A and B are shown apart, each in its own frame.
Chain A
Amino acid sequence: MFHALADATRRDIVECVLLGKSTVSSLARRYPMSFAAVQKHVAVLERAELVTKERRGREQIVRANIAAVRDASTVLDHFESLWRSRMERFGDLLAETVASEPGHPRGAAE
Chain B
Amino acid sequence: MTVIDVHKDHDTHSMTITAEFDASVADVWQLWADPRLLERWWGPPTYPATFVDHHLTPDGSVTYFMTGPEGDQHHGWWRVTAVAAPHSLEFDDGFADDAGTPNPDMPVTTTKVSLTGHPDGGTRMLITSRFPSLAAMEQLVAMGMEEGLVAAMGQMDALLAA
Contacts and interface: CB of A to CB of B under 8 A. Distances in A.
Interface of A: 1-2, 5-6, 11, 14-16, 18-19, 66, 69-70, 72-95, 97-98, 101
B149 A81 contact: no
B96 to A, nearest CB: 18
Interface string B84-112: 00000000000000000000000000000
* Interface size grouping (class) on chain B: 35 or more
B83 interface: no
19 contacts: A5-B156, A18-B153, A19-B68, A19-B69, A19-B70, A66-B144, A72-B152, A75-B134, A78-B151, A79-B129, A79-B147, A80-B15, A82-B150, A84-B17, A86-B41, A87-B2, A89-B40, A90-B19, A90-B21
Nearest to A86: B41
B3 A87 contact: yes
Contact of A2 (B42, B44, B127, B159): B159
B144 A82 contact: no
A69 B15 contact: no
B27 A75 contact: no
B31 interface: yes
A82 B149 contact: no
What 4 pairs between A and B have smallest CB-CB spacing?
A: A81-B154, A78-B151, A91-B2, A89-B41
B72 interface: yes
A97 B34 CA distance: 12
A81 B31 CA distance: 20
A16 B159 CA distance: 19
Contacts of A69: 152, 155-156
Nearest to B138: A75
A60 to B, nearest CB: 20
B156 A72 contact: yes
A81 B93 CA distance: 18
B82 interface: no
B157 A82 contact: no
B29 to A, nearest CB: 11
Contacts of B2: 87-88, 90-91
